[in-house]
Amino acid sequence: MRYLMTTKASDTAPDEKLYAAMAEFVEELTTAGVLLATGGLEPGGIRVTSSGDGITVTDGPFAEAKEAVAGFALVEVRSREEAIEVARRFRRIVGDGESVIQQVFGS
């Protein structure tokens, strides 16, 4: 089962200890074949909306930017519970904040 895990930006600046802990976590999950992809996302982005036949393209940043996704991880696990445990471990490393886990269908 594949899950997309996303996280919102934090007000806390990362330090060397955080970078080291995340590097170890990423290495562990990659070696185990759990982590398929990970990355950070630009804060602005481009919004594409459609209504009827019209398509509107709007460059960011947007007023609600602090609600935007800041990073992601695509994982392959055996169960929903395993995905939740991976997210729990991530949150313990990075501290306060919010992440969302969504199952990816069709993969």
Q: What is the pLDDT of residues 50-93, one digit of tens each?
A: 999 999 998 887 766 667 788 999 999 999 999 999 999 999 99
Percent of the chain with pLDDT over 70: 94
Global pTM reads 0.83
**pLDDT band at 44; cut points 50, 70, 90:** confident
**pLDDT band at 29; cut points 50, 70, 90:** very high
Q: What are the sequence ranges of the domains in the chain?
A: 2-104
- Give a three-class secondary structure readout of the chain: CEEEEEEECCCCCCCHHHHHHHHHHHHHHHHCCCEEEEEECCCCCEEEEEECCEEEEEECCCCCHHHCEEEEEEEECCCHHHHHHHHHHHHHHHCCCCEEEEEECCC
pLDDT at 107: 60
Instruction: Indicate the CATH number of 2-104 among 3.30.70.1060, 3.30.920.30, 3.40.630.30, 3.40.47.10.
Output: 3.30.70.1060
pLDDT at 66: 64
